[in-house]
A and B are shown apart, each in its own frame.
Chain A
Amino acid sequence: MGRRICSRAEEEIRDLFRLPGWLRRFDKRRDLYFDWCRRATIELGMLNGGTQPRDESLVLLLAAALSEDESFAGHVRRRRASFLADDDNWSQVYRAGGATILEAYLDAVDTGSWP
C-alpha cells in the first residue's frame, strides 16, 4: 500500500471517473506522466533548497498537465456529463487526476516497477 495522496473528495471523483483505468490504459502516456512527476520533484525540490517538495505542489503541476491533455478530457466527459456541466467542477477532476497519478507514481517507485 503506497502513500495516500487523494483526499476523500478526490477519492470519490477518482472512483466515479475511473481515473486509475485511464492512467493504466497505455504505457507511453503513463510513462510521460511518471517522468513529469520525477522532473517536477527535482525542479520544485530546488526551490525548497534541495528538500522534497510538498505533494500539493506536484498535484497542482499534474493537474495543469491534465488540463492540456485532450485524452483525459475525452475520458471523463464520457462518464458524468452532468457533473462536468459546471466548469468549476473540472478543476476538481483535474486535481483528482493529479493526485491519482502521483499516488500511482510513488507506488511504482516504492515497488521498483518504475523507472
Chain B
Amino acid sequence: MKPDQTGKRSKASGAGTPRRSSGLARPQTRPLPPRSGRVLVPISRDDVDARLIKLLEEADEVGRQGAKAAREVGMHTDGSAPRPDRARLLAELWETLPPYPVVRRPARRPRSRGGLYNMPSRIIGILVGVGAVLALLRLAGLL
C-alpha cells in the first residue's frame, strides 16, 4: 500500500520532500533537483485521484467515439457488455504509479524589487565603506 501524501513542503529540506507527520514513520526521499528551470513537486493523493478520474472519463469518451465511428460504417455494435468497476480501476491505476507522484512546475524566480536591491551586496558594501571613510575624513577636517 502506498503512503498518503500531504503535498506540502518540509521546512528543513525544501521542495520534493513530503512533510513528515508525527507517529507513523515514512520513507525519506531526497529533494528532487530542478531540471531546466522546472521543479518536481509532490502532489497529494487527492490531486492524483482527480487527475486519474479525469483520465478515465477521457478514456470513456474515446470508447464512445470508437463505437460511434463503427456505427457510421454500419458495423454491428452490442451495448450490453458489463463495465469494469471504476473504483477498482482507479485503485489499480494508482498502484501503477510511482510511490511519490510528482508534477513538473516552473521554478519560482525571486520577485525583482528593482534599483538598489538588485545590486550585488559586495558593491553596496564597498560604496558604504568609501562613504564612511569620506565622512570621517570630513569630520577630521582633512577634506
Interface residues of B, count at CB 8 A: 43
User: A13-46 toward B: CB 8 Å interface, digit per residue (1/0)?
Assistant: 0000000000001101100110010011001101
Judge whether A70 and B77 touch: CB under 8 Å.
Answer: yes
Q: How many A residues are at the interface, by size bracket?
A: 35 or more
Judge whether A69 and B64 touch: CB under 8 Å.
Answer: yes
In the complex where A47-B102, A48-B101 touch, is A40 in contact with B55 (Cβ < 8 A)? Answer: yes
Judge whether B73 and A26 touch: CB under 8 Å.
Answer: yes
Q: Is B79 an interface residue (CB 8 A)?
A: yes
**How long is the Cα–Cα vector from A30 to B78 in the complex, in angstroms?**
19
Judge whether B93 and A68 touch: CB under 8 Å.
Answer: no
Q: Is B26 an interface residue (CB 8 A)?
A: no
| Residues in chain A near residue B83, CB distance under 8 A | 67-68
Judge whether A50 and B104 touch: CB under 8 Å.
Answer: yes
Specify which of B35, B40, B78, B84 is in contact with A70 (CB 8 Å cutoff).
Answer: B78
| Residues in chain A near residue B43, CB distance under 8 A | 47
Judge whether A47 and B82 touch: CB under 8 Å.
Answer: no
Specify which of B35, B60, B71, B73 is in contact with A64 (CB 8 Å cutoff).
Answer: B60
Judge whether B77 and A71 touch: CB under 8 Å.
Answer: yes
| Residues in chain A near residue B102, CB distance under 8 A | 47-49
Q: Is A109 an interface residue (CB 8 A)?
A: no
In the complex where A32-B66, A60-B89, A61-B93 touch, is A49 in contact with B81 (Cβ < 8 A)? Answer: no
Q: Is A105 an interface residue (CB 8 A)?
A: no
**How long is the Cα–Cα vector from A50 to B41 in the complex, in angstroms?**
12
- Closest B residue to A27 by CB, please name it: B69
**How long is the Cα–Cα vector from A35 to B48 in the complex, in angstroms?**
22
Judge whether B84 and A71 touch: CB under 8 Å.
Answer: no
* 9 A-B pairs (CB sep. < 8 Å): A47-B103, A49-B32, A49-B104, A50-B104, A61-B55, A65-B63, A71-B66, A71-B67, A74-B76
Given A47-B103, A68-B83, 9 new contacts (CB under 8 A): A49-B32, A49-B103, A64-B56, A68-B59, A68-B67, A69-B62, A69-B64, A69-B67, A77-B81
